[in-house]
Structure 1
Amino acid sequence: MQDWITALGGRQEADDRIAFDTPAPARTALDATVVTPLVHLGVLDVIGTGAERFLQGQTSAQLGLVDGDLAPLTVFCTPKGRMLANAQLLRVAEGHYRLLLHRGLVESLAEHLKKFAPFYQVELTPRDDLALIGLIGQEAAALAEARLAIAPPAPWHQAGDGEVQLLAHPGPRPRLLALLPEAMAAEAWPRLADQATPVGNAVWCLHDIQAGLAWLTPTHRDALLPQMLNWEALGGISFKKGCYTGQEVVARAHFRGQVKRRLARAQLEGGELPALGSQVETAEGKAVGEVVAAELDAYEQAEILAVLSTKEDLGPLTVSGQRLKPLKLPYPIERLDPESLVGDA
């Protein structure tokens, strides 16, 4: 837990959960600009002369596109195509790449990649000394530019320098994410909170759900194909690059249409928040999916992302005894090549 957060009024509720005393934070974010520490996310640096070649052989991203402007989504897989982590990939400097992923997977991904790193003269460093701050709302861009002196980028692009990076993520409201040293975060937070309302990171996670964006957690490590989280629909897989670990299975699933489960968005008719991994069940009690993300919305209803069977007619569904109401995803389930995102800024 970063001391700067508690010093500024944050309250730790779990390793990956921070709250503030702001009443009805999800409802506040509907109208006001809010600021939140993103303690559920972590950072892994990949540094060395062979960093680009190393990552090119391990990840679904086309490393030639990661140029300090485009910061695409990517995924690391087992040889069987199962996800070890999904991430956003930044280029900080020549030979220095940065991965943004769920904090619970930073160490396991580093241990996995260390088996190959010596062959490329690469070092893997979890960055516990960095802070991540999120801004949500119509004034987020103006506030970031005024307080951080960085012009905001387009979604899945980056701005800033070697010390501070600013990312834009999609969602129902404009969202910006700043990565910066903890000492700078302690100074920047009061300036941001002067114009934005502090809220817990559950609000950011809710907006991820509403954006149809699921970050893999330890609950589902080594269990899902990337397409089961709609990763190719979010531009997280390049089908135009060469081989990487798991590429054959991922490509075969795409070109042969063998994905039998997909990420779906839904609301539960009840205020009980299901645990990750909770089963989605038919009226007969048959399990047809699992919850991969869940948060309470502005009206105290549970919104979820679940990996769900692609069979057309599953009938009425429930999670933890609560009826499931399907909601639309904000993007089509079709391939989005990351190459098409170049120049979007």
Structure 2
Amino acid sequence: MATVTASTPALGSVRLNHLAALDVKGADAENFLQGQTSAQVSLADGHFAPLTCFCTPKGRMLANAQLMRLGDEHYRLLLSNTLLDSLANHLKKFAAFYRAELTTQRDLIFIGVGDEAQALADQLGMDMPDRVGTHTNNDQACVLRYPGETPRWLLCFDNDSKVDLASVQDDQAGRNTWQLEDIRSGLAWLTDTQQDHFLPQMLNWEALGGISFKKGCYTGQEVVARAHFRGQVKKRLMHISVETTTLPEVGASVVNGDDKAVGEVVVSAFDHQGGVELLAVMSTKVAEETMPLYLDGAPATLLPLPYAIERVDPEQLAVNLNG
């Protein structure tokens, strides 16, 4: 476990080493992705970057990602670096039947930026996207607007780009601040620790617009759709604060007053008050019933999410963004 040593700093600019990119290029890139991902791939139009996920035939998530179209026949998936190789190897089994090439982009630099976003974007000759879930790009970089209590952006560019990184943090404190914003946005990125473990709805993926229920078949689609239409999802991602000075392990159990496990930690970060905030996949009974919660013996409190647990169609999101 990590131990808190300082208060959480304000969001500046920080290297995000936990992210990676998988590029998909070729004449059949769109058709190939359409058969594998929960997104309606045509919605990735060079402006809107839909959330998406990849599943096993049993509907369990292999990875979740954000999908950008960078050019004709060129798509980029942003995801956890712990899942880059496994997702690429999984997709290559299907890509062999398409004119599509997969490339793991290991030399890209990922910068999370708050107030300094415009200055870095200017160095890259980029316009700043002003709406969450949209991006801009040129031949050397892309900029994606992220959700959060304060405006923030993700910059992604080549290692050889001439960008002054002197003001960019490369420390855990800065990454913790970025992670905290993800948590408060109700956004959890799957890692290898819990791969093939959750239905997409357990990470509230349909409430974030990460599942199209209007597209055709993709791997795992039948199970995901059945869980949605039959109301079979009994676990949901929830936001929790804990009175502790140590970060819990991924998968650590949240228990009730009878010491019975009612959830498991997905991601956590230190807050500004010397405690911890986290996202955990919890039994829906926790939200329906008042019960004490604990994590490693420390009292835990259920906090509200910034969105309702209801289906949001990405097709409608795209209309709203372009309206």
Query: TM > 0.5 between the two?
Result: yes
Q: Aligned partner of 2:240: which letter?
A: A
Match of 2:303 among 289, 314, 327: 327
Identity %: 52
Question: What CA distance in whole angstroms lies between the structure 1 residues aligned with 2:243 and 2:7?
Answer: 20
**Structure 2 unaligned spans of 5+:** none
Conserved 8 A contact 2:39-2:211: yes
Question: What CA distance in whole angstroms lies between the structure 1 residues aligned with 2:301 and 2:68?
Answer: 36
Match of 2:176 among 192, 202, 211: 202
Kindly indicate whether residue 147 of structure 2 is the aligned counterpart of residue 170 of structure 1: yes
Question: What CA distance in whole angstroms lies between the structure 1 residues aligned with 2:133 and 2:318?
Answer: 10
Question: What CA distance in whole angstroms lies between the structure 1 residues aligned with 2:164 and 2:317?
Answer: 31
Question: What CA distance in whole angstroms lies between the structure 2 residues aligned with 1:209 and 1:93?
Answer: 31
Match of 1:184 among 154, 161, 168: 161
> Which residue number corresponds to residue 90 of structure 1?
68
Question: What CA distance in whole angstroms lies between the structure 2 residues aligned with 1:202 and 1:128?
Answer: 22
Match of 1:293 among 267, 272, 277: 267
Match of 1:35 among 13, 24, 28: 13
Map 1:108-187; keep pairs closer than 5 Å. Answer: 108-136=86-114, 139-153=115-129, 154-184=131-161, 187=163
> Which residue number corresponds to residue 20 of structure 1?
none
> Which residue number corresponds to residue 18 of structure 1?
none
Conserved 8 A contact 1:144-1:152: no
Conserved 8 A contact 1:78-1:84: yes
Q: 4+ residue runs of structure 1 moved beyond 6 angstroms?
A: none
Question: What CA distance in whole angstroms lies between the structure 1 residues aligned with 2:38 and 2:226?
Answer: 14
Partner secondary structure for residue 219 of structure 1: helix
Q: Aligned partner of 1:176: which letter?
A: W
Query: What root-mean-square deviation, in Å, do the aligned CA atoms of Structure 1 and Structure 2 show?
Result: 1.9
CA drift at 1:140? 4.3
Q: Aligned partner of 1:334: which letter?
A: E
Conserved 8 A contact 1:74-1:88: yes
Kindly indicate whether residue 200 of structure 2 is the aligned counterpart of residue 222 of structure 1: no
Conserved 8 A contact 1:25-1:203: no
Conserved 8 A contact 1:34-1:197: no
CA drift at 1:298? 1.6
Kindly indicate whether residue 23 of structure 2 is the aligned counterpart of residue 45 of structure 1: yes
Give the TM-score of the pair, scaled to structure 1: 0.87
Question: What CA distance in whole angstroms lies between the structure 1 residues aligned with 2:74 and 2:160?
Answer: 22
Conserved 8 A contact 1:148-1:188: no
Q: Residues 246 and 197 (structure 1 numbering): CA distance in 2 closer, same or farther, change over 3 Å? A: closer
**Structure 1 unaligned spans of 5+:** 1-13, 15-22
Give the TM-score of the pair, scaled to structure 2: 0.92
Q: Residues 314 and 277 (structure 1 numbering): CA distance in 2 closer, same or farther, change over 3 Å? A: farther
Q: Aligned partner of 1:263: which letter?
A: L
Conserved 8 A contact 2:15-2:110: yes
